[in-house]
Structure 1
Amino acid sequence: MKLRIKGNSLRLRISRSEMDRLVESGRIEDTVQFTPVAGESFTYSLEHERGARKIAVRYAPGNVAVVVPTASVMRWTDESEVGIYDSLALDASTSLELILEKDFACIDGSDADNTDTFQNPNEAAAC
């Protein structure tokens, strides 16, 4: 899973096998270890919950989880669905943009770069 943080936005891109694990287990996660000291890491995860009605974010020091309704994840598994997009209002003037996307193959990338990616819907164009 790839994480991009820019300003007040989180973008997660997932591979085919990660999509399969998300559907099967309900959760995928990755951890960045910053130093050799145990606990000095950051874990980010993507989960789905049947009872969820909208996307939510759970935050604790060293951990952020994006929680999506199960129905939204099931729709996302369709080949034609690129991603799930939402904006969470944090207060009257601030929001957090959430971008969850399939990791598509780069058309002009090497085969190694395209391992476990989704077929690019723009095969005729360059990345």
Structure 2
Amino acid sequence: MKIRIKGNSLRYRLTRSDVDKFLTDGYIAETTDFGMQTLEYALQQNRLNNLSAIFEGNKITVFMPKTMAQEWYVTDRVGFEWKDNGLNLLVEKDFKCLDEVAEDQSDNYPNPLAKFSKV
């Protein structure tokens, strides 16, 4: 799972195995070690109607309704977006890049734009 933060926008991108684990366990988390402190970011299923988020004790948790998670898993839907008290939340499937990149993308979803790419 990747995190991207820009201003009041928070985006999570999940690979195929991340989405599988999230659907099975209802929870997935990653950590970034800053030496003296660690940032944890997590995605957790709940029973609410929309995405929401909290930040407590160096941990960002985005909550996704279980019904959304199930729809996301069984369809081609890229992701879900919601504005929560001024914070724009986006949780989406991580696609393979169309350009050459050094990172391993073998677990990413096929990019739907690849058929239009000249690469």
Relative to its length, the structure with more helix (as a share) is 2
Superposition RMSD in Å = 1.9
Q: Which amino acid is the alignment partner of residue 40 of structure 2?
A: T
In the alignment, structure 1 residue 125 sits paired with structure 2 residue 117: yes
Could you say which structure has the larger radius of gyration?
Answer: 1
1:113, distance to aligned residue in structure 2 (A): 3.2
What's the counterpart of residue 26 of structure 2?
Answer: 26
**What TM-score, normalized to structure 2?**
0.90
Equivalence for 2:88? 97
Residue matched to 2:67? 71
Q: What residue ranges of structure 2 are gaps of 5+ in the alignment?
A: none
State the distance in 2 between where 1:126 and 1:26 align.
Answer: 39
Superposition map of 1:1-127 within 5 A: 1-35=1-35, 37=36, 40-49=37-46, 51-89=47-85, 95-109=86-100, 113-123=104-114, 124-125=116-117
Q: TM-score, normalization: structure 1?
A: 0.84
Distance 1:5 1:109 in 2: 23
Unaligned runs of 5+ in 1: 90-94
Percent identity for Structure 1 against Structure 2: 31
Misfit runs of 4+, over 6 Å = none
